[in-house]
Structure 1
Amino acid sequence: MSKVWLITGSSRGLGRAFTEAVLEAGDRVVAGARNPAQLADLEKRFGERVRAVSVDVTSEAQAKDAVEAAIERFGGLDVLVNNAGYGNVAPVEDTTLEEFRAQIETNLFGVIIMTKAVIPYFREREAGHIIQVTSIAGRLGPVGRAPYAAAKFGVEGFSESLSRELGPLGVKVTIVEPGGFRTDFAGSSTELREGRAEYDSTVGATVRFQRSYNGRQPGDPAKAAAALLQLVSMREPPLRLLLGSDCYAAAEKSILSTLEADRRWKDLSVSTDF
């Protein structure tokens, strides 16, 4: 059966790949973007099955309007994909509080705002699927991306709580965690600042790697989109889904390292009980 999707950040990167794949599969989409004119080609190709709307995810009014647009245009809404976001690279010391707030506002509060806009409708229907696109940075803190990681860790915790609240009501929640994909996320979408000399071996190295890595990432956006379509077809989808061999390897290494450290300090941890 054809589904109705609302996808944020649809104009580029993974969001664009998701939107195209969903439309090619025969579903209908409200495609959100800051500049919906960038989606004109999709409206021309897919006609009445796509509606491009202006969505700043930090705006409660625009979030509500996007949800209402889906219901009014297509008669309902089945899947929300919170994909919009960005992440710059710079040392914490050289990142202003305004820059921190801006990244967290978009990457965390934008997800919360969009999610809250759709919850009443999904709750009343006792159905729906909320997909939160985070990152491997939602599992481990990469050098140079502290604001981004802070936001993505926040989305992970928010979404885990959300899944426990909405699961009994018939609403599904899945956290999708991509690694490196060949989009412009690591290129024109990202500001790279090496910072002062003291950070040359850490943040500086990350910036240099990012520049050389762009265009060579292992992830194929089309295959990520295919995985997303498979995910929404599942009766019992996972709470978390890693995307990419690099992402899986990094997550596995981090989890095992954390477990080892927790066990090493277990005696001190449990010594605090009465």
Structure 2
Amino acid sequence: MAKTWLITGSSRGFGWVLAKAVLEDGDNVVATARRPEQLDDLVRQYGARVRTCALDVTDAAAARAAVELAVEAFGSLDVVVNNAGYAIYAAIEDMPDDVFRAQIETNLFGLVNVTKAALPVLRKQRAGHFIQFSSIGGRVGGTPGLSAYQAAKFAVEGFSEVLNNEVKPLGIKVTIVEPSAFRTDWATRTMPVSEDYERSVGAMIRSR
């Protein structure tokens, strides 16, 4: 029987590749993106087995709507992939507070929003699987310029480990994915680097 997947951040990178692989395997997908028109190619290629919707993961109501779409369209929700995220390179001192907080909002609280939206459905089913995209930087950390991103990913790992222990008795699985360096555009933005941070943050940016 075909499974139903909800994948955040489906318009590029891991989300796009995973959505296509799942659809090729015969499963159903609710693919989400901030700009759902970027997912039109999936609809043209896979038809009724894919639904698309606009989702800013920092919007808890929108996360609930995406989960409702999956259940209404396909009757169940089997796999939730929390993939949406981004990073901006900057030294801690150089990064404005709002830029730092925005990364935490998307990379941590966005994942929390989608997870909490899906939990009632998976709990009722007594089955399901959360796939939480973290990063190798969420386990070892220390990369100059990625303070906000890696702080969020460390938190994602702690949150997901607790989640696993809470939902395992309910038949729900939790998997943490920790990619290393891949050629995706998750960190295409940088901020000006102060002279004193050129040897650490500047060198890291130039080495990408």
TM-score by length of 2: 0.97
Q: Which residue is 2:169 aligned to?
A: 168
3-state SS of the aligned residue for 2:181?
coil
Aligned mate of 1:195, from 178, 182, 193: 193
Please identify which structure carries the higher strand content: 2
Q: Deviations over 1:151-197 (max 9, x none)?
A: 000100000000000001110000001111122224xxx21235111
Question: Equivalent residue for 2:101?
Answer: 101
Could you say which structure has the larger radius of gyration?
1
Distance 1:163 1:105 in 2: 22
Matched letter for residue 167 of structure 1: K
Moved more, 23-32 or 174-183: 174-183
- Measured in 2, the distance between the counterparts of 1:73 and 1:29 equals 10
Q: Aligned partners of 1:184 and 1:23: how far apart in 2?
A: 23
**Structure 2 unmatched ranges of 5 or more:** none
Within 5 A, what are the aligned runs for 1:43-82? 43-82=43-82
Question: Moved runs in structure 1, 4+ residues, more than 3 A?
Answer: none
Q: By how many angstroms is 1:45 displaced? A: 0.4
Conserved 8 A contact 1:8-1:83: yes
Shift of 1:146: 0.1
Instruction: Report what 1:270 is aligned to.
Output: none
2:186 is paired with a residue whose SS is: helix
Structure 2 Cα separation of the partners of residues 3 and 22 of structure 1: 9
- How many residue pairs get aligned? The number is 207
**Partners of 2:181 and 2:49 in 1: CA distance:** 30
User: In structure 2, the residue corresponding to 1:105 is in which secondary structure?
Assistant: helix
Which residue pairs with 2:42 in the alignment?
A: 42
136-145 vs 155-164, which moves further: 136-145
Identity of matched residues, %: 57
Describe the SS at the equivalent of 1:86: coil
1:239-270 Cα shifts (integer Å, max 9, x gaps): xxxxxxxxxxxxxxxxxxxxxxxxxxxxxxxx
Give the 3-state SS of the residue equivalent to 2:162 in structure 1.
helix
Aligned to 2:156: 155
C-alpha separation in 1, matches of 2:184 and 2:59: 26
Match in the other structure for 1:136:
136
Q: CA RMSD in A?
A: 0.9
Gaps of 5+ in 1: 211-274
Q: Deviations over 1:220-240 (max 9, x none)?
A: xxxxxxxxxxxxxxxxxxxxx
The letter of the residue matching 2:194 is R
Aligned to 2:120: 120
For 2:192 and 2:198, locate their aligned partners in 1 and report how far apart those are by CA, in whole Å: 7
Which structure ranks higher in relative contact order (CA pairs < 8 Å, sequence separation ≥ 6)?
2
Q: Secondary structure at the match of 2:89?
A: coil
